[in-house]
Structure formats: C-alpha cells, structure tokens
Chains A and B, each alone.
Chain A
Amino acid sequence: MGNNGGPVLVTGGTVLNRSGESRADVLITDGRVERVAPNLDSSLPAESAGGPRRLVADGCVVSSSFVDLHTHMREPGREESETIATASRAAALGGFGACVAMPNTDPAQDNVAVVEFVRLQGERAGLVTVAPSGCITVGRNGTQLAPFHSMAAAGVRLFTDDGNGVQDPLIMRRALEYARELGVTLAQHCEVSRLTEGAVMHEGCCSSRLGLPGWPAIAEVLMLQRDIELVRETGASMHFLHLSTARSVEIVRQAKNEGLPVTAEVTPHHISLTDEKLATFSTLFKVNPPLRTMEDVESLRAGLADGTIDALATDHAPHAAHLKDQDLSAAPPGMLGLQTALGVALAYSGCATRRVVEAMSWSPAAIAGLDDHGRDIEAGSPANVVVFSTEGSWRQTPESIVSKSINSPYFDVDLKGGVRHVVHRGEVVVAGGVLR
C-alpha cells in the first residue's frame, strides 16, 4: 500500500492553511509538497497511466498532520501495555504525524541512551515522527536534575517529569534556569502531591457520595500559580500539561495577558467526560488529573476555543487489562486517546475546524519544536498531511483499537468526523482509514 516515495496527488479536498481555506489538489513528490492548485487531477496522467497515486479527499479537509504533545508509548519497560510500534499505528490512524513520547518509561528517558532508543524505535516503526521528551529530574524522582545539556544536544526540546509534578521549588527554579539557557521548554504536570495522596477521582460531590478519596482542584491550581511566578522570575518558557480545572484556565489566561511565555494543553477526555463517570466505579475512568465537573469541562472548552489553551493533547495512556482489572486504588490512571482525539475534538470542543487544526497541529508543533510539522500545505513544505472529514457520527469499538491495550473511555460515546488519509514524509501511511 505504500507509495515508496512515488508521487501522490490528494484530490478534491479543501486545503486548510493559516491564511485560509481553498479548494485545491495537492501534489506530493520526494517527501515534499510540490504544488497546491485547483484541478491538478485533470492535468496530470491517471494513476493507471503512470501518473501520481490518487488519494480522494472529496468533502474532506486537507491540513498538516496532527502533533500529539503527550503520548505514553510505554517502551521501554511496559511493552505488555504498548510499544512504540503499536502506539505509532494508533497515532497514524488518529491523523497524527508526530508524537512527543512521555518519559515515564522504565528505564526513564532521563539520559541520551534511552532518548535515542525511543527516537530510533519510532524511525523503525516508520509511521509517525516520535520525538522523545526528556525527564526534568533523574528517574523522575524530583531530586537530581537530569542531564539537560546532553539531551538537548541529542535533540530533546521538551522536558517533563509527567506523572509527577516537580514538587521542590528549588529544583524547578534551577531547571528553568537551565531551560532558558538551552532554549528548551519545561512541561509541568501540576499536582501538589501532598494534597492528592491516595486520590482516585476529583474531590467533590461525586467523590463524597461514592466514598472515594478525592484529588482536589486546588492541588493543580497551587502548583500552576507557583510555576507561573517562577516563569516570571526566570524568563524561561513553560508548558502546562493537561489542565483540568476552570480556575487553571483563568490563571493561564491572566499569565498570557501579562505576556509571560507560557503555553497549555487540555486532553480530549477533560473536554468530554465528567467525574460522574466514576459512579460506575470503573477503573477505565481513573485518570490523572481526574475527570472533573461540567463547569470545569465548559471552562476548558472555552479556553481551548479562545486560544488560552494552545493545544489538544491526548495523554494517551495504555494499560494492559490485568492492570486495570484491580480495585480503583491499585489500578493505574490513564486512558487511550490517539484514535479518538479528532472525533472528540469535532464532537465536543465547540471549536471551528480551523481552531481544531491549530490546536492539534500548528500550536503543538511549535511547542514541541518540530520544524517539519504543523507547516502550511504549500510548495516546499515537508509532506506531513492529514485528510479528514468533519461529518458523520461514530462510536469506537474494542475491535477497532490497534493499541496493545483497550482502555478507552469512548465505547458508549458518540464521536464525529474521521481520518481518511495520512501522508508521513511523503509516504502514504493511512489510506481510506486503513493503515499501510
């Protein structure tokens, strides 16, 4: 099914760029966009006559492929739950051309050897660009700074201890000083851990009824505020992972109004699901930060729509069935996200299509420092392209999941639109919704 570098013509779609939308065909050769113009289809030889391979995009949007700032690929160390190869398949089917691999692997991505391994496994899988993040602290234990210089020299642009917030203000201050000097970005998981010990869900009315230990919104808000002050002091840029509370949106909005170099993301599940899902006591809905209230969901949607929140990022977190088949305290937090992100965005974000593309491609590519991604579809651009429809309702089934784990929260939820084709570095990796 691959085109082995041969020319490809995307026909009949609407090309969506920063400058606007236009009906145009897109000719791709040698890994780059060669021409974008109307009616190229009729002026070039048919596929059967030796012309470029056709990808029909009638009624679809053609844009730069999506970039996920937040993918747990689980390799090395947790290959029973996911591998870089299987996560790459899920990503491609979800319309992604690049994923930032989170560093909570085993061993952790806190050194050049592991970071290079992750990048190389991504190249071997060959479906999406896998951009490894690096840890802020060794082993993500919050006490010793990871080798920033070495990892930055190896191409790491985003540093995070995701899963753990950096608790120690001294460590975070020093890390920001390093980050500024190296021109890299820190990504913080905002959680004051002393306030969330044993927590399995949002602290509120539901947790109070269900008797489940609560993760209070203030645990996110306090660290967010602390780190914004550290950004103000150091001048380094910081990205805030998976915002989950209404108050967080206000705080980030204020910081941006003050011109501070901060960015933020929200997950598909935090704009589509609430803590009431935990009334089933199903571990599928245990996630960190937790699903919160409808008021939070609405604020997050508004923040995503108005750009306060820059990016939609999946926090794709596969867990093998036996890990989720435990009591709620023992089961690890996390849910799948790559294959459903676009469907959730179109169904629940309230954003226009252009804003969806911005939040799923242009902004995250910039935050991740991925120069070959999030580019307009124009002559000379690297050919990382997604073709998707914005119409049609669907539901995910366990059979459709290509991850090694099936811990998706979306089996009973209506999603919208769909990924039709994906071109990665000029190669067709998904055609007609089917993987190469």
Chain B
Amino acid sequence: MRHLISLDELAGDDIVGLLSTADHMAEVLTRPQPKVPALRTKTVCSLFFEDSTRTRLSFETAAKRLSAETLTFTAASSSVNKGESLRDTVETLAAMGVDVFVVRHKTAGLPLAITRWCDARVVNAGDGAHQHPTQGLLDAFTLSRAMKRGNDLSGVRVAMVGDIRHSRVARSTVRALHVLGASVVLVAPASLLPAAFVGSETIPDGWPVTVSHSLDEVIGDIDVLYLLRMQRERMDNAFISSPGEYSAHFGLTDRRLARMRRGSWLMHPGPMNHGIEVAVDLDSLDAHGVTNLITRQVTNGIAVRMSVLFTLFGSAAEAFDGQ
C-alpha cells in the first residue's frame, strides 16, 4: 500500500489486513512503554487545511508511538494565507524530507492530487464529503472487537443516521462494515441522502445499503446505532428546517433509547452535538443495556492509524515479533 486515499480502492483482504495489524498495535499500546521503533527513520507531516485537532492529534500520536518524526502544518498558521499556492506548499514541505503527508482538506480529491505532485506517501485524513478511510477502519475495528467477532460482522445490523450526503465518514464506514459482512441501513431525510438516491426507485451503484426515512421504524430492530454529526449550518440551504425538528425525528431521544434492543451499541464519529443527534444523557445508556462505544472509537483510532502508517512501509508480521 503506497497511499491510503479511499477504502473503495482497497480490496477486502487489505482492509482485513489493516484491522489485523491494528490488533498488534493495540497490544503495543498496552505495554508499559507503548512505543516501537518501526518508523524511526520516517518523517510524518500532518497537512491540515481544515481544522480538526482531534484527528490530527490522533495521527500524530500514532506516528510518535511508531517513533516517527512528526511535523505539523495547519492552514491557519501557514503561508497559504500569504498567497502561496497549495502545490508550492506541498512541494516545499516535501523538499524538507517528508515521507508521509497526512492530509485533511475541504475538497474531495486533494489528497489524491498531492500524490501526483510529490514522491511522499499520502494518507487521507478526510477530503470533503469523499473519504475518511481511517475513520472507516477504526469504526469497523471498534465494533468487531467490542462484539468479539474477529473480522466477521455478518448478520450485524447497523443503522447509520444523519447527514449522509455531506459525510465522508458514511462513505468510508459503510465500505468497511460491508467488507466485514454487516448490513447497513441509512436513515435520513431525503435532502440529506446523496443526490443519486433522490427520486430513484433503486439503490445507486456502489452503495451496499438499504434506506429508511424513519428512525422509529428501524430503531427496535438494529444491533448498532451509528449517529452522524448534524451541522447547524445545514439549515442555511434548507437541508433541514431546524436542529429541533431534526432532533425530534432523527435524534437519539429518551423515547427512542427505550426502544433500542438490550445488548445493542451506540457509535458516533465525534464531535457530538448534544441536544441535536444526541438528545439523551449518555450515562443513561447502561440502564437500557446499550453500550456506548464512542470513547473506544477514539482510543482505537490510535492503533488503527499506527497500522496504516506502518503498512505504508512494510507488511504486517515483520517488525513486531521479537521487539
């Protein structure tokens, strides 16, 4: 694997391989000294043109646990604001000896463009509404490991709820869950489904999902409730009428929590909007037999990103035994 741009372009076996390598990394993280020298000769540069402290710190922690040098470039503090072109910025940083760029940008396709502009490896840390592949991997990892199902989620029913249209998480996580055999139902108002779904009688090519417009219809039949972040600014172009209206029909409310199956699971990619998609007290989940995986998603993000960075430079088994 030279770059990681999209889970769509990875074979199922490669996705499973990355999850299995993440098991090794998770073990490393439990050691008294949670660090291995695997990438000590490498320099990993976070290249974030869009703010995301959480994802950036997760990648940088992963790089440090692998003993890589880390550099941080964020648009706010950079020459981009002085009119330097994006390509010049990338070429300049590459000339400093960067081995891996971890790239976040508001526009789909920019990480791929960077692979054409320099020789460094590129990991997509979120590009527009396209892909956020490490999120997809960490979601599949978190759920399958929490359920103690190995790499097999066949028969598991997941409802992914919210702004699918603008969500790179949905495009990544649906793919990863599908590879492990889970079935996914997208739950959203029509305006928040990708345009190809609107007015179509059939599910568009490339989406291994079913669709529902009612959370109430599916909430009692699912094993996993995956809530997406609902951005308030979606009101501006009439995707939703108001956050309150959205919450009442597509949020996790006390009434819906009471209808969830005992033994089911709650996931969210963060950051949460309390009072919109998460309209319950999360401490009350236990009483209903629902397990909150949100913190575990964050924790597992480190192991999964270690797996990705490591796999850019070698195959799984090598470095870990005997260290």
Residues of A within 8 A of B (CB): 197, 200, 203-205, 207-214, 216, 281, 283, 322, 325-330
B195 pairs with A208, CB closer than 8 A: yes
Task: Please tell me if the beta carbons of A211 and B129 are within 8 angstroms of each other in the complex.
Answer: yes
Any chain A CB within 8 A of the CB of B318? no
Q: A281-B112, A326-B87, A327-B107 in contact; A210/B197 too (CB < 8 A)?
A: no
Listed by A's residue number, 22 A-B pairs whose Cβ atoms lie within 8 Å are A200-B107, A205-B204, A207-B194, A208-B197, A209-B196, A210-B108, A211-B108, A212-B109, A212-B130, A213-B128, A213-B129, A214-B195, A216-B195, A281-B109, A325-B87, A325-B113, A327-B86, A327-B105, A327-B109, A328-B109, A329-B106, A330-B107
Additional A-B contact list (18), CB under 8 Å, known A209-B196, A211-B131: A197-B237, A200-B107, A204-B196, A205-B206, A207-B195, A208-B195, A208-B196, A208-B204, A211-B128, A212-B129, A281-B109, A283-B113, A325-B87, A326-B85, A326-B86, A327-B110, A329-B106, A330-B107
Task: Tell me the minimal C-beta distance from A298 to chain B in angstroms.
Answer: 19
Taking CB atoms, residues of chain B closer than 8 Å to A211 are 108, 127-131, 168, 171
**Is the CB of B205 closer than 8 A to any CB of chain A?**
yes
What's the minimum C-beta distance from A383 to chain B, rounded to whole angstroms? 47
B: which residues have CB within 8 A of A?
A: 8, 85-87, 105-110, 112-113, 117, 127-131, 168, 171, 194-197, 204-207, 237
Number of interchain pairs (Cβ within 8 Å): 76
State whether B85 touches A329 (Cβ < 8 A): no
Provide the residues of chain A in CB contact with B117, threshold 8 Å. Answer: 325
Once the chains are docked, how many angstroms separate the CA of A326 from the CA of B109?
Answer: 10
In the complex, A209 Cα to B196 Cα: how many Å? 9
Task: Provide the bound-state CA to CA distance between A210 and B194, in Å.
Answer: 10
Question: Which B residues touch A212, using CB under 8 A?
Answer: 108-109, 128-130
Are B130 and A210 in contact, CB atoms less than 8 angstroms apart?
A: yes
| Minimum CB–CB distance for A421 against chain B, Å | 39
Kindly list chain A residues whose C-beta atoms are within 8 Å of the C-beta of B237: 197
Q: B105 contacts which chain A residues (CB < 8 A)?
A: 327
- A328 CA to B129 CA in the complex, in Å? 13
Given A210-B109, A281-B112, A281-B113: A325 touches B85 (CB 8 Å cut-off): yes
Pairs A-B, 10 closest by C-beta atoms? A281-B109, A211-B129, A208-B194, A211-B130, A208-B196, A327-B107, A327-B110, A329-B107, A205-B196, A211-B108
Instruction: Tell me if A's interface is mostly helix, strand, loop or mixed.
Output: loop
> Cα distance A80–B107 when bound, in Å?
26
Residue of A nearest to B205 (CB): A205
Residues of A within 8 A of B195 (CB): 203-204, 207-208, 214, 216
Contact partner, A209, options B106, B107, B206, Cβ 8 Å: B206
Chain A CB count within 10 A is highest, among B128, B206, B207, for B128
Q: Which residues of B contact A208 (CB under 8 A)?
A: 194-197, 204, 207
Q: Which residue of chain B is the closest to A203 with respect to CB atoms?
A: B195
Complex-state Cα separation, A325 to B106, whole angstroms? 16
Compute how far the CA of A63 lies from the CA of B5 in the bound complex, rounded to whole angstroms: 51
Q: In the complex, A213 Cα to B107 Cα: how many Å?
A: 9
Nearest A residue to B130 via CB reads A211
Residues in B with CB closer than 8 Å to A214 are 195
- Which A residues lie within 8 Å of B86 (CB)? 325-327, 330
A63→B170 CA distance, assembly (Å): 56
Name the residue of chain B whose CB is nearest to the CB of A209: B206
Instruction: State the CA gap A216–B106 with chains docked (Å).
Output: 21
Residues of B within 8 A of A322 (CB): 85, 87
CB distance from B163 to the nearest CB of A (A): 12
Min CB gap A337→B, angstroms: 23
* CB proximity of A277 to chain B, nearest CB, Å: 12
A204 to B200, CA, bound (A): 11
Chain A residues in 8 Å Cβ range of B196: 204-205, 207-209
Complex alpha-carbon distance, A330 and B85, angstroms: 11
Q: How far is the CA of A212 from the CA of B205 in the complex (A)?
A: 16
How far, in whole Å, are A214 and B128 apart by their CA atoms in the complex?
A: 13
A328-B106 Cα distance, complex, nearest whole Å? 10
* A326-B171 Cα distance, complex, nearest whole Å: 24
Q: Which residues of B contact A213 (CB under 8 A)?
A: 128-129
Question: Shortest CB–CB separation between residue A242 and chain B, in angstroms?
Answer: 22
Q: How far is the CB of A202 from chain B (nearest CB, A)?
A: 10
Residues of A near B109 (CB, < 8 A) are 210, 212, 281, 327-328
A246 to chain B, nearest CB (A): 15
In the bound complex, what is the Cα–Cα distance between A368 and B15 (angstroms)? 58
A213 CA to B127 CA in the complex, in Å? 12
A203 to B8 Cα, complex, angstroms: 20
Shortest distance between the CB of B189 and any CB in chain A (Å): 16
A387, B214: Cα distance in complex, Å: 65
* Chain B residue with the shortest CB-CB distance to A322: B85
Within the assembled complex, what's the spacing in Å between the Cα atoms of A366 and B142? Answer: 67
Q: Closest CB of chain A to B303's CB: distance in Å?
A: 26
Provide the residues of chain B in CB contact with A203, threshold 8 Å: 195
Q: A325-B85, A326-B85 are in contact. Are A281 and B108 (CB under 8 A)?
A: yes
Chain A residue numbers with a CB within 8 Å of B171 are: 209, 211
Q: How far is the CA of A20 from the CA of B128 in the complex (A)?
A: 55
- List of A residues within 8 angstroms of B206 by Cβ: 205, 209
Docked complex Cα distance between A210 and B237 (Å): 21
Question: B108 is contacted by which of A205, A216, A328 (Cβ under 8 Å)?
Answer: A328
A267 smallest CB distance to B (angstroms): 23
B165 nearest CB neighbor, chain A only: A208
Q: How far is the CA of A322 from the CA of B86 in the complex (A)?
A: 10
Q: Name which residue of chain A comes closest to B131, CB basis.
A: A211
Query: A278's closest neighbor in chain B, by CB?
Result: B109
In the assembly, what is the distance between CA of A212 and CA of B128, in Å? 7
Question: In the assembled complex, how far is the CB of residue A216 from the closest CB belonging to chain B, in whole angstroms?
Answer: 7
Interface centre among B105, B168, B206 (most CB of A within 10 A): B206
Nearest CB of B to A38, in Å: 56
| Chain A residue at smallest Cβ distance from B167 | A211
How many angstroms between the C-alpha atoms of A301 and B176 in the bound complex? 40
B194: chain A residues at CB < 8 Å are 207-209
Q: In whole Å, how far is A373's beta carbon from the nearest beta carbon of chain B?
A: 41
